């Protein structure tokens, strides 16, 4: 599945809740997965997320990483977070 197919398959509204960052997260994961680990080894998305949405964010990120077969790490800061998607080390 290429990046455009993945984006077309993405629901118009967030699948796991109300997070506005779902589309950028899916775009980053699809771009990384489409590279096959050759051109791009990792990518990071920074998003504004409140503390009350962190659990939902973790569920969303884990779902996306599982769908694309990549690793994901979430780092939370005051009012924002950074999500890093990467290929597993071999």
Determine which of 4-18, 36-50, 64-78 has the lowest per-residue pLDDT on average: 4-18
The pLDDT value recorded for residue 37 is: 75
pLDDT above 50 for 14: no
Query: Can you tell me the mean pLDDT for 38-57?
Result: 92
The pLDDT confidence band at residue 18, using thresholds 50, 70 and 90, is confident
Tell me the two tokens of residue 59.
């569920």
pLDDT above 80 for 15: no
Query: Can you tell me the mean pLDDT for 7-36?
Result: 78
- In this structure, CATH architecture of domain 3-86: 2-Layer Sandwich (3.30)
Three-state DSSP string of the chain: CCHHHHHHHCCCCCCCCCCCCHHHHHHHHHHHHHHCCCCCCEEEEEEECCHHHHHHHHHHHHHHHHHHCCEEEEEEECCEEEEEEECCCC
- Ordered by start, the domain boundaries in the chain are 3-86
């Amino acid at each position: 599945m290429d990046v455009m197919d993945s984006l077309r398959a993405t629901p118009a509204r967030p699948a796991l809740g109300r997070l506005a960052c779902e589309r950028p997260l899916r775009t980053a994961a699809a771009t990384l997965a489409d590279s096959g680990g050759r051109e791009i080894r990792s990518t990071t998305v920074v998003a504004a997320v409140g503390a009350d949405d962190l659990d939902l964010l973790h569920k969303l990120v884990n779902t996306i990483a599982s769908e694309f077969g990549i690793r994901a790490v979430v780092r939370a800061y005051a009012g924002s977070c950074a999500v890093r998607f990467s290929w597993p080390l071999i």
